[in-house]
Chains A and B, each alone.
Chain A
Amino acid sequence: MRYLRSFGRFWWNFIVGDDWRVAAGVLVGLVLTYVLAHNGVNAWWLLPAVVALVLAESLRRAVRRG
C-alpha cells in the first residue's frame, strides 16, 4: 500500500506539479474546445487564451504566497 501511494504521488508530482489548478484549467480548456469544435465552431483561439490566463493566474498566486 505504501509503495502504491508513493507511486501515485510520484506521477501526481510528475504531471500535475506544484499547482493543480494549472492542470485543471488545461482540462477545462480542452473540454470547452472539444465541445465547440464538435458543434461547428473552429475554436483554435480558445486553448491558447485559456492556457495564458491559467499561467498568469498561477504565477499571481505563487508571487502573492511568496
Chain B
Amino acid sequence: MNAGSTSAILVVAGAFLACAVEMVEALTIVLGVGVVRGWRSTLIGAGAAGVVLAVLVAAFGPALQSIPIETLRLVVGALLLAFGLQWLRKAILRSSGHKDMKDEDEAFRAERAQAAAAGDERRAGLDWYAFTVAFKGVLLEGLEVVFIVIAFGSAQGHYALAVAAAVAAFVVVLVAGVLAKGPLSRVPENTIKFVVGLLLTSFGCFWGAEGAGVDWPGDEASLLGVVAFFALVSLVLVRTLRRRRVPPVPAGAEA
C-alpha cells in the first residue's frame, strides 16, 4: 500500500467515524423530540438543518481549493489541531474516569422530558418547539462534521472521498436508528471519539508542520508514524491519569 492510499484510508475513516458519532447524538435529539411532539415538524426541522449543512459543504469546499496548498495546510492544520485536541482531551478524561461517559439513554430521557414540558406554540403551521430543537440539534452536531469534511477534503485533496464517507455514515446511523427504534446507546461513543480525536490531531500536526515549511521524513508515510506517536502518548496519559484517580469512598466507610 502506498503513502497516498494510506492517507486516503485515514481521511475516509476519520470522516466516517466523526459523522457517525455526531449523527448518533443528533439522532437522540430528533428521536426524543419526535416521539413526544410528533414527527412532521421534527423531521422538517432536521431536514432544514441537513440542507443548510449540505449548502455549507458545497459552498466552502470547492472555494477553499483556490487557496495555495501550503497556506491552506497551515491554517487547516492549526484549526484541526485546536479542534482535534478538544476531542482527544475529553476522550482521555472519560477513559481515565475523570469525566462521566456520555449516556444516550439518559440524554434521550432528558430530551423527552423537556419536549413534554415545553409550551405549544405554532408558527408557519409547525410545532415551533419541535422544529427549532430538531433544527438546532442537527445543525450544531453537523457543523463539526462539516468542518472535518471540509478540512480533510481540502487539505489532502480527497474532497469527494471525505463527503462520500460522511454520507455513508449518515445512512448507516439512520438505518440503525430506524431498526433500533430508539437511541443508539450501545455505540461505543467514547472509543470512536478517541479515534477521531487522534486522527484530527495527527492530521492537524502533519499538515500544520508541512504548511509551516517542514519536510516530513518519508513524506506522507510519516503520517502513520504521527498517528502512532499520538496513540502512544494518549494511552500513556490514560494510564497515568487512571492511577491518579481517587476511588470513591463507600458510604459509611469513614465511621
Interface residues, chain A, with chain B CB atoms under 8 Å away: 14-19, 22-23, 26-27, 30, 33-34, 37-38, 42-44, 46-48, 51-52, 54-56, 58-59, 62-63
* CB contact under 8 A between A27 and B92, given known A15-B83, A42-B214: no
Interface residues, chain B, with chain A CB atoms under 8 Å away: 74, 77-79, 81-83, 85-86, 88-89, 92-93, 98, 143-144, 147, 201, 204-205, 208-209, 212-217, 222, 226, 229-230, 233-234, 237, 241, 244
Task: Collect the chain A residues with CB atoms within 8 Å of residue B143's CB.
Answer: 14
Taken together as a complex, chains A and B put the C-alpha atoms of A19 and B87 apart, in Å, by 12
Task: Collect the chain B residues with CB atoms within 8 Å of residue A58's CB.
Answer: 85, 89
Using a Cβ cutoff of 8 Å, how many contacts connect chains A and B?
A: 96
Q: Do the beta carbons of B230 and A15 come within 8 Å of each other?
A: no
Smallest Cβ distance from A35 to chain B, in angstroms?
9
Q: Which 7 A-B pairs have the closest CB atoms?
A: A37-B213, A17-B86, A34-B212, A33-B212, A23-B82, A47-B209, A44-B214
Task: Collect the chain B residues with CB atoms within 8 Å of residue A19's CB.
Answer: 89
The residue on A at minimum CB distance from B238 is A59
Query: What are 19 inter-chain pairs, A to B, with CB distance below 8 A?
Result: A14-B143, A17-B83, A23-B82, A26-B82, A30-B77, A34-B212, A37-B213, A44-B209, A44-B217, A44-B222, A46-B209, A47-B208, A48-B205, A48-B230, A55-B92, A56-B237, A58-B85, A62-B98, A63-B93
The residue on A at minimum CB distance from B202 is A48
* CB contact under 8 A between A59 and B205, given known A22-B82, A44-B215: no
Task: Collect the chain B residues with CB atoms within 8 Å of residue A42's CB.
Answer: 214-215
Taken together as a complex, chains A and B put the C-alpha atoms of A26 and B79 apart, in Å, by 9
Task: Collect the chain B residues with CB atoms within 8 Å of residue A18's CB.
Answer: 86, 89
